């Protein structure tokens, strides 16, 4: 099976996937970024489906057209599973319909707590002593999909969003690739993905 990885930034989670042996067939991005350069240097196929051609980061961004165009590119690449890895564009139903139940994402909190873009800062503001990361099936609704795996990260005295985010990323770089490999194995055996969820402290 082939995994398409979507990036928007540095691509460090994608690098962790490569190191873990995830079979990446394509790395795609919504903007020029380091992640694409790293993927190319690693010998991976890359594609840029740039938001700039769909309105960029303005109010006129055509999210539906962009989602459809990206879905077409990944479908043509015969990707079996899509893994978002720091991908910054919310995709519409047109994309998810092309890969039903086969789009994965990682989120820096123990969902369902602290959904959205500011999960780490929100956890600190709430004064929790524990947060973490969640690997889940992405759906059209932001951070709402079925949970596949979680790991807890302790909030340390003196943590700020940057220090806590980095410790969560350290966990994501282990948990996400391992979960992807488990998902691929279950898909190859036609097994359901339910029952994968577990939570462990790190």
> Catalytic residue positions?
107
Give 91: exposed, middle or buried? Use CB within 10 Å, 0-12, 13-18, 19+. buried
**Cα 66 from Cα 75, distance rounded (Å):** 14
β-sheet bridge partners, residue 27 = 5, 46
Q: Which residues, 6 or more positions from 42, have their beta carbon under 8 angstroms from its beta carbon?
A: 15, 18
Query: Rounded to 5 degrees, what angle do the CA atoms 64, 105, 58 make?
Result: 35
Closest C-alpha among 167, 98, 103, 104 to residue 132: 167
Residue pointed to by tokens 């998810």: 96
């Amino acid at each position: 099976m082939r995994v398409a990885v979507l990036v928007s930034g540095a691509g460090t989670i994608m690098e962790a996937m490569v190191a873990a042996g995830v079979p990446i067939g394509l790395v795609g991005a919504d903007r020029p970024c380091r992640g694409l350069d790293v993927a190319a240097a690693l010998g991976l196929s890359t594609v840029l489906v740039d938001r700039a051609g769909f309105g960029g980061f303005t109010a006129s961004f055509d999210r539906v057209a962009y989602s459809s165009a990206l879905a077409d590119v990944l479908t043509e690449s015969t990707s079996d599973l899509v893994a978002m890895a720091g991908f910054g564009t919310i995709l519409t139903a047109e994309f998810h319909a092309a890969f039903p139940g086969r789009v994965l994402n990682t989120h820096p909190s123990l969902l369902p707590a602290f959904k959205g873009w500011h999960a780490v800062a929100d956890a600190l503001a709430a004064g929790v002593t524990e947060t973490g990361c969640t690997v889940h099936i992405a759906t059209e609704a932001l951070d709402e999909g079925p949970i596949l795996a979680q790991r807890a990260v302790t909030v340390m005295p003196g943590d700020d969003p940057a220090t806590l985010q980095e410790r969560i990323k350290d966990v994501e770089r282990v948990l996400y690739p391992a979960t992807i490999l488990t998902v691929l194995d279950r898909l190859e055996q036609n097994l359901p993905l339910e029952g994968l969820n577990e939570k462990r402290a790190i």
